């Protein structure tokens, strides 16, 4: 446990999250948000990888949704068309996505800055076109429906609640694993890279190896999220995996705060709740308000909401310590 | 900067609290129906008239006493033409708003995407999208009001065969609507003695289709069919005259709104396509059972929204909501009973889309007769009456 | 294939290419001066087209005046975006600034759709709609306007940035803000000018292309994407390359449709153009990184 949770704050945050998750589906008014929470979990898995990637390598990747989509479609096709066990399908999808990310990671990370962003953008668009056009396998622009449930033993994850807990289980697992990675040797190497690439190189850290590692990891996370997505909705089509969706993931990551795992969760939750709950009440004005709020958040707290919160807390604590020292 | 941050945090928390505060307990009196239309995004030309129609109907119904004294409350959400969003708002309607039935979505892609959820949740849905796959078996709870794309293709081919066309080219958009059209254009061709010489595609959001048209121009095709909605079709029509193409252009029922004529200008003239009868409502024979419904819809819509013309898409929503309202009147607020009513009692039912005959095997209820052929002459819709 | 047919494909490709080039130039202007990728660039183009239509139709202004006003209005929007969005976000990283422009593009799109219309619209042609024919191909007069505007824009920008004081000052900011400050160049004023300029250029592009392509509140999305690609070919730094990059994208798309062979079909036109571009980028970056390592 000690290796996993850094300090009492991680414990507290984690505990608070667990309590929240446990309460929501069983409280009369809050249980309406079960489905929303489920989607937040799925999106967080995609965002986490991106937060780590962008936070530690400093590169913008617009390609997360490509991996999200590949995981989704591979799972869908294997489990529906070929009758493969959904769990196995998910595993195969994750493995395939990981390998794919590894292979294209090399040429992509040779590029820098805007070129890299362009390359990842190209990836998303090409993959999107393939999803749309390989109709025999993917069902074309309308996609496929009737994808089977995930199940353990004889019990299928069919009900709203079952899906909720299943998805959050994976999401929490991923968050913990990521937390662990950051505390590990790989994490230290990443932080060194984040601090200064030339310095990191000078102590013998192989930059591209770590960058690709993170890239592959984020791809696998996205793939798992994609698989869970199709088993929850039981349908798939190319739309959630296009360019705009990719931009949304980047937005979620940045709003929450990069290089921060909790930031990923926070950012995803804020953006999702904003676009779904607060704004649905305003009819046609909602995208206007959405745009405004996005701008305001980034202008006031450009390092991301969660990171901003953390920094504010740190400063407050520092002030208190100083005061205490003086008196 | 920190001060601002706290202000922002407070605003965000407050904003999040709004939905939790709620408006008090739900009125037990009103009948709640959900509506999910693509009011923004690529399908907004479908969703906007659909939403406007529903708003107009709710006003009219409640002003005249509601449904057997109960107020009709339509909770409408914008799917933003996005399947993901559509799934989310559907879940919200079912779980949070607890509606009795849902109308929409506006597109085939979105409808198919949520089909499983609807079947699992056991709530009746009347879609306003054209794809035949929406109501394909296994299907207990999903219905649709628009004429199926396959019927439109057959009506068009019947006309083209009658005019002696045997070799044609097809031009379809890469989205769901175009793909669906392409599938049927290809599968139905042989039975009308038509050969497709070449099949071109384009991005529905594209702005120049000259390359595709140049391909078509240089084949042996005698005519070509463009299967897309009015935005793309207007550009295709324009590009066609731009490159001096004389090959006749046929379109799908997707062009049946003024956007096509407004944007294609004089290039729209001569275009022929199958359409629902709404376009020529006043030219219909008084004996036609649809005439009354069509005129009522047209008058009510144009009275409510001066300056706009009623179109077939809004008509689909009109039919859908009317079916549900009728069911509610007869069987009350029970999802299963509403479903049963629609499946069994909607017979010889005149709607804007055609005469509906729903049955357990047919959740669309329309046959070829619901279409007429229309030609654009001098910027106006002209009915090509069968001779 | 006869000449006429081939020429027609070229015309189509160069038409779209010129449009992409114009949008791409807007990206390049802002990036060269401020280092920001302005995701709202496509929306400036949309504003140009929509406003020139609205002013002409609803307010009855003559075409020329409508276009002029729409360009001015767009420039104002660009300035506001800079002042409210970029300048106030002082300690923001490049990525955060990009997200701000994303928010701005959503906002502008939403407002346009809400206060005007969601239907696509078409302003009147500049000089009639009779196609001109040459060597078996047909070209619309409006297309000549589009191509001409793109070419003129590229030349003007090149001259402006290389030979005028203001242009050189703007470029200096791109190279080093601090150094520019030392020689008395106010980086913030330069950035403001860059945004206004890019917005104005976008609006000009929108006004000249809308009669040919129609415009809707959502037009900015796809145009922004294609323009981004065009600018990327120029490394976001070179106007000339962005111009030719845009033309290249347009041509590849058109010729892919024309070829209709193997994977080069109209369905894959977007993908083919992108893959070709990625290859170009990889080659470019190889050459660049060897240069970097050399220095």
Q: Using one digit for the tens of pLDDT, what is the confidence trace for B113-163?
A: 899 889 989 999 999 998 888 898 889 999 999 998 889 999 999 999 999
Q: Which residue, B217, B225, B156, B216, is CA-closest to B191?
A: B156
Q: Which residue, B194, B195, B241, B245, is CA-closest to B217?
A: B245
Distance from CA of A258 to the nearest CA of C (A): 10
Cβ-based neighbour number of residue C88 at 10 Å: 14
Minimum mean pLDDT among A162-166, B28-32, B116-120, B136-140: which range? Answer: B28-32
Between CA C15 and CA B366 the distance in angstroms is 44
Residues in chain A: 327
Kindly state the tokens that stand for B286: 């008084």
Q: How far apart are the first and last CA of chain A?
A: 38
Distance from CA of A126 to the nearest CA of C (A): 5
Average of per-residue pLDDT across B41-50: 85
Between CA A251 and CA A248 the distance in angstroms is 5
Inter-chain residue contact A233 with B116, CB threshold 8 Å: yes
- DSSP secondary structure of C221-265: HHHHHHHHHHHHHTTTT-HHHHHHHHHHHHHHHHHHHHH-BTTBS
In this structure, are residues B355 and B291 in contact, taking their beta carbons and an 8 Å threshold? no
> From the list B84, B95, B120, which residue is nearest A239 (CB)?
B84
- Tens-place pLDDT, residues A70-121: 999 999 999 988 888 889 999 999 999 999 999 998 888 877 777 788 888 8
Which residues 26-45 of chain C have a CB within 8 Å of chain A?
A: 37, 39
In this structure, are residues B221 and B169 in contact, taking their beta carbons and an 8 Å threshold? yes
Inter-chain residue contact C12 with B210, CB threshold 8 Å: yes
Which residues 227-256 of chain C have a CB within 8 Å of chain A?
A: 228-229, 232, 235-236
What is the sign of the dihedral through the CA atoms of C85, C88, C93 and C96?
negative
pLDDT of A293 reads 80
CATH number of this structure's domain B150-275, picked from the four choices 3.40.640.10, 3.20.20.80, 3.40.50.2300, 3.80.30.20:
3.40.50.2300
Between CA B364 and CA B146 the distance in angstroms is 8
Chains B, C: CB pairs < 8 Å: 97
pLDDT of A254 reads 85
Angle between helices B210-217 and B230-242 (to 10 degrees): 60
Between CA C1 and CA A201 the distance in angstroms is 57
> From the list C108, C275, C285, which residue is nearest A112 (CB)?
C285
pTM (two decimals): 0.86
Q: Which fold has domain C3-294?
A: ABC transporter involved in vitamin B12 uptake, BtuC (1.10.3470)
- DSSP secondary structure of C53-110: HHHHHTS---HHHHHHHHHHHHHHHHHHIIIIIIIS-TT--HHHHHHHHHHHHHHHHH
> From the list C39, C103, C107, which residue is nearest A298 (CB)?
C103
Percent of chain A whose pLDDT exceeds 70: 93
Report H helices in A234-260: 243-256
Please give the mean pLDDT across all residues of chain A. 83
> From the list B39, B242, B263, which residue is nearest C214 (CB)?
B263
A102 class by beta-carbon count within 10 Å (0-12 exposed, 13-18 middle, 19+ buried): middle
Q: To probe the interface with A, which of C27, C99, C228, C267 has the most A CB atoms within 10 Å?
A: C99
Inter-chain residue contact A237 with B112, CB threshold 8 Å: yes
**Which chains contact B through at least 3 pairs of Cβ atoms less than 8 Å apart?**
A, C
Inter-chain residue contact B16 with A278, CB threshold 8 Å: yes
What is the sign of the dihedral through the CA atoms of A259, A260, A264 and A266?
negative
Inter-chain residue contact C100 with A294, CB threshold 8 Å: yes
How are the residues of chain B apportioned to helix, strand and coil, as percentages rounded to the nearest 5? 50, 15, 30
Between CA B138 and CA A79 the distance in angstroms is 19
What does the domain layout of chain B look like in residue ranges? 31-147+288-356, 150-275
- Tens-place pLDDT, residues B261-305: 999 999 999 999 999 889 888 888 888 889 999 999 999 999 999
pLDDT of B124 reads 96
Q: Which fold has domain B31-147+288-356?
A: Rossmann fold (3.40.50)
Distance from CA of B15 to the nearest CA of A (A): 7
Containing H/E element for C45? Answer: helix C41-57
Model confidence at A54, pLDDT cuts 50, 70, 90, reads confident
Q: Which residues of A233-255 are buried (b: 16+ CB within 10 A; e: fewer)?
A: bbbbbbbbbbbebbbbbbbbbbb
DSSP summary character for residue A37? H
pLDDT of A281 reads 61
Q: State yes or no: pLDDT of B57 exceeds 50.
A: yes
In this structure, are residues C86 and C36 in contact, taking their beta carbons and an 8 Å threshold? yes
Inter-chain residue contact C96 with A302, CB threshold 8 Å: yes
Residues of chain C with pLDDT below 70 are 90-91, 177-178, 263, 285-295
Inter-chain residue contact C118 with B48, CB threshold 8 Å: yes
Q: To probe the interface with A, which of C32, C278, C288, C290 has the most A CB atoms within 10 Å?
A: C278
A43 class by beta-carbon count within 10 Å (0-12 exposed, 13-18 middle, 19+ buried): buried
Inter-chain residue contact A129 with C268, CB threshold 8 Å: yes
Prediction ipTM score: 0.86
DSSP summary character for residue B136? P
- In a 13 Å sphere around the CA of C74, the CA atoms on its Cβ side amount to 33
Between CA B315 and CA B294 the distance in angstroms is 8
In this structure, are residues B233 and B206 in contact, taking their beta carbons and an 8 Å threshold? no
- Tens-place pLDDT, residues A254-282: 888 887 888 899 889 988 887 776 666 66
Q: How far apart are the first and last CA of chain B?
A: 77
Q: Which residue, A90, A104, A92, is CA-closest to A45?
A: A90
């Amino acid at each position: 446990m000690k290796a996993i949770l850094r300090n009492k704050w991680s414990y507290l945050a984690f505990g608070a999250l667990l309590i929240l998750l446990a309460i929501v589906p069983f409280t009369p008014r809050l249980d309406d948000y079960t489905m929303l929470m489920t989607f937040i979990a799925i999106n967080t898995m995609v965002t986490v990888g991106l937060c780590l990637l962008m936070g530690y390598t400093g590169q913008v990747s617009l390609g997360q949704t490509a991996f999200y989509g590949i995981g989704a479609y591979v799972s869908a096709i294997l489990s529906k068309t070929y009758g493969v066990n959904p769990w196995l399908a998910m595993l195969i999808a994750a493995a395939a996505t990981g390998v794919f990310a590894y292979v294209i990671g090399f040429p992509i990370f040779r590029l820098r800055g805007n070129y890299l962003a362009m390359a990842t953008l190209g990836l998303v668009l090409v993959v999107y076109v393939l999803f749309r056009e390989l109709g025999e396998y993917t069902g074309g622009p309308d996609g496929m429906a009737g994808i089977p449930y995930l199940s353990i033993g004889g019990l299928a994850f069919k009900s709203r609640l079952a899906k909720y807990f299943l998805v959050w289980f994976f999401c929490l697992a991923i968050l913990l694993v990521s937390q662990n990675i950051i505390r590990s040797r790989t994490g230290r190497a990443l932080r060194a890279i984040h601090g200064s690439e030339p310095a990191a190189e000078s102590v013998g850290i192989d930059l591209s190896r770590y960058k690709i590692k993170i890239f592959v990891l984020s791809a696998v996370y996205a793939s798992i999220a994609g698989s869970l997505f199709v088993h929850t909705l039981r349908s798939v089509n190319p739309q959630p995996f296009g360019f705009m969706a990719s931009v949304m993931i980047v937005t979620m990551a940045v709003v929450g705060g990069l290089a921060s795992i909790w930031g990923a969760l926070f950012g995803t939750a804020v953006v999702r709740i904003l676009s779904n709950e607060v704004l649905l009440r305003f009819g046609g004005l909602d995208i206007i308000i959405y745009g405004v709020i996005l701008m305001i958040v980034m202008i006031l707290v450009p390092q991301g909401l969660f990171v901003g919160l953390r920094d504010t807390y740190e400063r407050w604590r520092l002030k208190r310590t100083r005061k205490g020292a003086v008196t | 900067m920190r001060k601002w941050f706290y202000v922002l945090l407070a605003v965000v928390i407050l904003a999040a609290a709004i939905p939790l505060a709620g408006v008090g307990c739900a009125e037990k009196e009103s009948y709640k129906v959900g509506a999910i239309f693509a009011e923004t995004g690529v399908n907004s030309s479908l969703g906007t008239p659909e939403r406007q129609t529903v708003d107009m109907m709710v006003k009219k119904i409640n002003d005249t006493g509601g449904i057997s004294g109960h107020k009709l409350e339509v909770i409408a959400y914008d799917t933003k033409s996005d399947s993901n969003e559509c799934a989310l708002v559907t879940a919200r309607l079912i779980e949070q708003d607890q509606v009795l039935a849902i109308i929409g979505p506006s597109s085939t892609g979105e409808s198919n995407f949520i089909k499983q959820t609807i079947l699992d949740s056991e709530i009746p849905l009347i879609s306003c999208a054209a794809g035949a796959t929406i109501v394909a078996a296994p299907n207990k709870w999903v219905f649709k009001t628009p004429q199926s794309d396959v019927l439109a293709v057959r009506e068009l081919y019947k006309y083209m065969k009658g005019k002696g066309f045997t070799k044609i080219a097809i031009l379809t958009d890469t989205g769901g609507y175009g793909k669906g059209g392409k599938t049927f254009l290809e599968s139905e061709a042989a039975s009308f003695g038509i050969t497709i010489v070449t099949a071109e595609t384009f991005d529905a959001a594209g702005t120049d289709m000259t390359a595709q048209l140049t391909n078509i121009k240089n084949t042996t095709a005698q005519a070509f069919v463009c299967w897309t909605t009015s935005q793309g079709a207007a550009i295709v029509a324009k590009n066609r005259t731009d490159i001096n193409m004389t090959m006749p252009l046929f379109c799908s029922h997707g062009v049946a709104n003024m956007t096509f004529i407004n944007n294609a200008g004089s290039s729209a003239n001569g275009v022929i396509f199958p359409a629902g009868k709404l376009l020529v409502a006043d030219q219909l024979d008084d004996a036609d059972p649809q005439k009354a419904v069509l005129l009522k819809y047209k008058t009510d819509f144009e009275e409510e929204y001066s300056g706009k013309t009623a179109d077939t898409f809004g008509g689909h929503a009109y039919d859908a909501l009317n079916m549900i309202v009728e069911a509610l009147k007869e069987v009350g607020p029970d999802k299963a009973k509403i479903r049963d009513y629609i499946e069994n009692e909607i017979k010889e039912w005149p709607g804007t889309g055609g005469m509906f005959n729903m049955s357990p095997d047919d959740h669309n209820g329309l046959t070829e007769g619901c279409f007429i052929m229309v030609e654009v002459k001098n910027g106006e819709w002209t009915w090509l009456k069968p001779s | 294939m006869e000449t006429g047919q081939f020429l027609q494909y070229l015309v189509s490709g160069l038409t779209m290419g010129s449009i992409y080039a114009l949008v791409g130039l807007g990206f390049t202007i802002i990036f060269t001066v401020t280092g920001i990728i302005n995701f709202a660039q496509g929306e400036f183009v949309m504003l140009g087209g929509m406003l020139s239509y609205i002013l002409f139709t609803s307010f009855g202004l003559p075409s020329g005046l409508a276009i002029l006003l729409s360009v001015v209005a767009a420039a104002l929007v660009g300035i506001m975006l800079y002042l409210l969005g970029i300048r106030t976000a002082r300690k923001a990283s490049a990525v955060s600034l990009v997200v701000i422009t994303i928010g701005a593009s959503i906002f502008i799109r939403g407002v346009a759709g809400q206060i005007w219309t969601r239907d696509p619209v078409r302003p009147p042609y500049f000089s009639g709609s009779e196609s001109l024919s040459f060597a078996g191909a047909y070209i619309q007069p409006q297309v000549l306007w589009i191509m001409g505007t793109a070419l003129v824009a590229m030349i003007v920008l090149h001259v402006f940035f290389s030979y005028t004081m203001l242009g050189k000052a703007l470029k200096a900011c791109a190279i080093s803000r601090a150094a520019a400050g030392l020689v008395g160049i106010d980086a913030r004023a330069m950035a403001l000018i860059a945004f206004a300029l890019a917005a104005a250029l976008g609006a000009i592009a929108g006004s000249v292309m809308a009669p040919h392509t129609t415009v809707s509140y959502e037009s900015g999305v796809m145009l922004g994407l294609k323009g981004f690609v065009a600018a990327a070919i120029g490394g976001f730094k070179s106007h000339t390359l962005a111009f030719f990059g845009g033309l290249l994208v347009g041509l590849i798309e058109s010729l892919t449709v024309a070829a209709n062979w193997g994977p080069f079909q109209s369905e894959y036109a977007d993908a083919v153009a992108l893959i070709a571009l990625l290859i170009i980028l990889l080659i470019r970056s190889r050459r660049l990184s060897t240069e970097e390592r050399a220095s």
